[in-house]
Amino acid sequence: MSHRAGRHFLQIPGPTNVPSRVLRAMDYPTMDHRGPEFADLGHRCLLGMKKIFKTESKVVIFPSSGTGAWEAALVNTLSPGNKLLMYETGHFAMLWHEMARNLGLRPEFMSGDWRTGADPDRIAERLKQDGDHEIKAVCVVHNETSTGVTSRIGEIRKAIDSVNHPALFMVDTISSLASIDYRHDEWGVDVTVAGSQKGLMLPPGLGFNAVSKKAMEACEFANLPRSYWDWNAMFGANKSGYFPYTPATNLLYGLDESLRMLIDEEGLDKVFARHDRHAEATRRAVRAWDLEILCTNPAEYSSSLTAVLVPDGHSADELRKIILDGFDMSLGTGLTKVAGRVFRIGHLGDFNDLMLAGTLCGVEMGLMRSNIPHKTGGVDAALSYLALGETADGQKRAPRSATA
Ligand SMILES: *Cc1c(COP(=O)(O)O)cnc(C)c1O
């Protein structure tokens, strides 16, 4: 392959760009994970992740992909044949559902249209019919990465409570945690699932669970086979800052650094506001191009990615290829049901205004080179919003007078 000058634009919705500070933090000799130096690092990472999940309860860190953390959530809390209610928001919800089946559970899959989030009313309605409380858990993907739709987790909690159903509530936050506001304790989530390679700005390789007291109680009676994923072994070793088997030591160095950046330096509220703003600028560009945003409910627009539909008869993957070949930028592909129909712009993680401007320029130039019918002016719309857009109180920011 020939050398391509300049930085590659990695604008898929995960893995995301890893800040050079984080890369440098990992470039440090691997230490003895049972030695005295390690415990401080272990404690700091576990404590920091509690702040990210907004929980006072327990957090578990696995050397794994996000998929491993999905499995941990199920095998630690459930028994063979247990019924679950899972919601079809898109591709990732489908995979989690498939996993539940593979594990010998009986998941019911509430069908969705891939353009809206999990509907709290439908969940309440279904749980109301389950008078014998056969459904042991409700599983929802917070930010469906295949569609750019964010489900309303707080409202789903209220829906479960409104029918007094005792099911555990499990939420996948793999592409939302540390990008979109999330509150494990306040929203009464029992198990939250996360991974390192999206909002946390790390390479792939860490999986996380946040675990409520109720989920820990369920763990006592759950008898799906578990070994590698066993929470109890983790809780035991974590007390003193250690892990039951070799952790991904260098990724933990990176996590320690990214937690410092997210919590201590930028602050989570600002991190969320930054993602909201970039998502809004992106949507303005898409509308100006006269293309369609896949998500149809503005209350469920994702702040970490935007999935864009191309008109019928056109291929989103051809456009992605034009953009990759011509401008060295990777965009997310359409998955399963929306394959070829959508491309996804990731705007999460270590990201700023000029990176977004470059990203949108790449898309607009790609559209120009393609035969996809569209209007120009998407970049202009985004730039005006970024430069002069509404202030926090909804006022339009005036350009500074030239005669000042
Ligand atoms: C990325 C992603 C996953 C899969 O995570 P892996 O680390 O690839 O196993 C699952 N769910 C959601 C919502 C995701 O965005």
C-alpha 34/C-alpha 245 separation (Å) is: 10
Residues 277 and 372 placed together within one structural domain of the fold: yes
pLDDT averaged over every residue in the chain? 96
Q: Which residue has the tokens 């249209």?
A: 113
Residues 291 and 361 placed together within one structural domain of the fold: yes
> Euclidean distance between the first and final Cα of the chain, in Å?
52
The reply to whether 185 falls in a domain is yes
Strands, DSSP E only, in 155-238? 168-172, 191-195, 206-211
Residues 166 and 253 placed together within one structural domain of the fold: yes
pLDDT tens per residue across span 141-197: 999 999 999 999 999 999 999 999 999 999 999 999 999 999 999 999 999 999 999
Q: What is the pLDDT of residue 185?
A: 98
Question: Ligand 1: which atom is nearest the Cα of residue 144?
Answer: 13
Instruction: Verify whether ligand 1 is closer than 6 Å to residue 15 (CB atom).
Output: no
Whether the per-residue pLDDT at 135 is higher than 60: the answer is yes
Q: Give the confidence band of 404 by pLDDT, cuts at 50, 70, 90.
A: very low
Q: Which helix (H) or strand (E) holds 229?
A: none
Instruction: Verify whether ligand 1 is closer than 6 Å to residue 112 (CB atom).
Output: no
Last residue of a domain, one of 218, 239, 263: 263
C-alpha 267/C-alpha 103 separation (Å) is: 39
Residues 190 and 276 placed together within one structural domain of the fold: no
Share of the chain above pLDDT 90, in %: 96
Whether the per-residue pLDDT at 113 is higher than 70: the answer is yes
Instruction: Verify whether ligand 1 is closer than 6 Å to residue 174 (CB atom).
Output: yes
SS3 content of the chain, % helix, strand, coil (to 5): 40, 15, 45
Contact 350, 18 (CB under 8 A): yes
Q: What is the pLDDT of residue 395?
A: 66
C-alpha 139/C-alpha 123 separation (Å) is: 10
What DSSP state is assigned to residue 13? S
Residues 125 and 104 placed together within one structural domain of the fold: yes
Residues 251 and 321 placed together within one structural domain of the fold: no
Residues 294 and 256 placed together within one structural domain of the fold: no
Instruction: Verify whether ligand 1 is closer than 6 Å to residue 302 (CB atom).
Output: no
Q: Distance from the CA of 327 to the center of ligand 1, in angstroms?
A: 27
pLDDT tens per residue across span 82-94: 999 999 999 999 9
Sheet holding 106-110, edge to edge: 58-63, 206-211, 191-195, 168-172, 135-141, 83-87, 106-110
Q: Distance from the CA of 364 to the center of ligand 1, in angstroms?
A: 28
Residues 101 and 208 placed together within one structural domain of the fold: yes
Whether the per-residue pLDDT at 300 is higher than 80: the answer is yes
Q: Distance from the CA of 309 to the center of ligand 1, in angstroms?
A: 22
**Domain interval for residue 204:** 20-263
Last residue of a domain, one of 214, 248, 263: 263
Q: Give the phi and the psi of residue 217 in degrees, each rounded to 5.
A: -65, -40
CATH number at residue 340: 3.90.1150.10
Question: Ligand 1: which atom is nearest the Cα of residue 70?
Answer: 10
Q: Which residues of 59-77 are buried (b: 16+ CB within 10 A; e: fewer)?
A: bbbbbbbbbbbbbbbbbbb
pLDDT tens per residue across span 20-71: 999 999 999 999 999 999 999 999 999 999 999 999 999 999 999 999 999 9
Residues 180 and 284 placed together within one structural domain of the fold: no
Question: Ligand 1: which atom is nearest the Cα of residue 65?
Answer: 7
The reply to whether 118 falls in a domain is yes
Q: In this predicted model, which residue has the larger pLDDT, 16 or 395?
A: 16
Q: What is the pLDDT of residue 321?
A: 98
Residues 73 and 199 placed together within one structural domain of the fold: yes
pLDDT tens per residue across span 262-277: 999 999 999 999 999 9
Whether the per-residue pLDDT at 391 is higher than 90: the answer is no
Strands, DSSP E only, in 100-142? 106-110, 135-141
Q: In this predicted model, which residue has the larger pLDDT, 18 or 396?
A: 18
Q: In total, how many domains does the chain have?
A: 2
Instruction: Verify whether ligand 1 is closer than 6 Å to residue 141 (CB atom).
Output: yes
The reply to whether 392 falls in a domain is no
Q: Which helix (H) or strand (E) holds 397?
A: none
Contact 172, 153 (CB under 8 A): no
Residues 35 and 154 placed together within one structural domain of the fold: yes
Instruction: Verify whether ligand 1 is closer than 6 Å to residue 92 (CB atom).
Output: yes
CATH number at residue 141: 3.40.640.10
Q: Give the confidence band of 401 by pLDDT, cuts at 50, 70, 90.
A: low
Q: Give the confidence band of 1 by pLDDT, cuts at 50, 70, 90.
A: confident
Instruction: Verify whether ligand 1 is closer than 6 Å to residue 89 (CB atom).
Output: no
Question: Considering only CA atoms, which residue is closest to atom 4 of ligand 1?
Answer: 66
The reply to whether 68 falls in a domain is yes
Residues 252 and 343 placed together within one structural domain of the fold: no
